[in-house]
Amino acid sequence: MDGSNLHKEAIIAGFKCRFFKELDSTNSYARENMSDLINVLPAVILADSQQEGRGQNENTWDSEPEKNLLLSVVIKPGFSVQEGLFRINYLLTFSIIDTIKRLFGVEAHLKWPNDVFVNDKKVAGVLAETSIQGDKINILIGGVGININQSFDSVGAYKAISLADVLGKEVDKDLVLKTFLATLKEISEKTAYSSLNFLEEKSSKILWKRGKEQKFYDKETGKTILAFPDKFCSDHSLLVRHNGINKKLRHESFQWIP
Q: Please, are residues 120 and 166 in contact by the beta-carbon 8 Å criterion? A: no
Residues 44-73, mean pLDDT to the nearest whole number: 77
Direct distance between the N- and C-terminal alpha carbons of the chain, in angstroms, rounded to an integer: 36
Residues 186-190, mean pLDDT to the nearest whole number: 95
pLDDT for the residue numbered 5:
85
| pLDDT tens-digit readout, 113-171 | 999 999 999 999 999 999 998 899 999 999 999 999 998 765 565 689 999 999 999 99
The span from the CA of 183 to the CA of 18, in Å, is: 19
Task: State what percent of residues in the chain have pLDDT above 90.
Answer: 80
Three-state secondary structure call for residue 232:
strand
pLDDT for the residue numbered 156:
60
CATH 3.40.50.720 fits 6-205, yes or no: no
Crossing angle, helix 196-205 and helix 81-104, to 10 degrees?
Answer: 40
Q: Please, are residues 20 and 45 in contact by the beta-carbon 8 Å criterion? A: yes
| pLDDT tens-digit readout, 223-258 | 999 999 999 999 999 999 999 999 999 999 999 987
Residue 58, pLDDT > 60, answer: no
Residues in a beta bridge with 226: 215
By CB neighbour count within 10 A (0-12 exposed, 13-18 middle, 19+ buried), where does 50 fall? buried
* Amino acid at position 110, single letter: L
How do the domains of the chain map onto residue ranges?
Answer: 6-205, 214-257
pTM: 0.92
